[in-house]
């Protein structure tokens, strides 16, 4: 069986939300609000929610602080994964990865293709693991956040998802 096994215990995780944008503010940011609301609705905790500029140093500093924070299990960013000169989220975050979750990009693009067709190739959505923290970098549109959260991330962050999920790996992420 694959999918959610309702008979199992749900284990909430603490998720930090990072919006990468030069133009959005707390008042105008819709993708971050959308993501935070979906995280809470799923039963998880929003550990932090910030907006930073499209700047490698600012992005890397914020994500690094969350990796070091024992109260953050997962980081999800939105924005900065495109192809323009200001899109630097993958460049900022991937050097922090100890392991890349290659399958995330593949599955995200499959889900995204159903929504936006070939336009999905303009995204450099990535995911990885650093310091026992899962990190997912999504495009900045509301549609991409919905596809990424609803069709991929939320399922893997549900401890009841079978045959396996990321939550069950969390106790073993720092093994050596």
**pLDDT, tens digit (0-9, with 9 covering 90-100), for 109-138:** 999 999 999 999 999 999 999 999 999 999
Condensed to tens digits (0 to 9), the pLDDT of residues 55-99 reads 999 999 999 999 999 999 999 999 999 999 999 999 999 999 999
Q: Which of 141, 136, 139 is nearest to 104 (CA)?
A: 136
Condensed to tens digits (0 to 9), the pLDDT of residues 18-68 reads 999 998 888 889 999 999 999 999 999 999 999 999 999 999 999 999 999
Q: For residues 158 and 143, give the distance between their C-alpha atoms in angstroms, rounded to a whole number.
A: 21
pTM for this prediction: 0.96
> Domain coordinates of the chain in residue numbers?
12-160
Contact 100, 67 (CB under 8 A): no
12-160 placed in CATH 3.40.980.10? yes
Give the Å distances, CA to CA, from 173 to 134, 145, 163, 167, 170.
10, 26, 19, 10, 5
């Amino acid at each position: 069986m694959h999918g959610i096994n309702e008979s199992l215990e749900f284990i909430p995780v603490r998720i930090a939300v990072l919006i990468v944008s030069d133009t959005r503010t707390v008042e105008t940011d819709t993708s971050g609000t959308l993501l935070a609301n979906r995280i809470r609705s799923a039963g998880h905790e929003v550990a932090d929610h910030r907006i930073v500029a499209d700047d490698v140093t600012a992005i890397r500093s914020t994500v690094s602080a969350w990796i070091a924070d024992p109260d953050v299990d997962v980081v999800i960013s939105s924005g900065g994964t495109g192809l323009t000169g200001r899109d630097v989220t993958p460049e900022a975050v991937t050097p922090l990865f100890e392991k890349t979750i290659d399958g995330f990009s593949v599955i995200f693009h499959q889900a995204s293709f159903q929504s936006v067709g070939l336009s999905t190739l303009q995204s450099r959505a990535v995911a990885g693991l650093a310091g026992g923290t899962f990190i997912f970098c999504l495009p900045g549109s509301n549609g991409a956040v919905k596809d990424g959260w609803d069709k991929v991330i939320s399922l893997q962050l549900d401890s009841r998802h079978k045959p396996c999920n990321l939550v069950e790996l969390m106790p073993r992420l720092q093994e050596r």
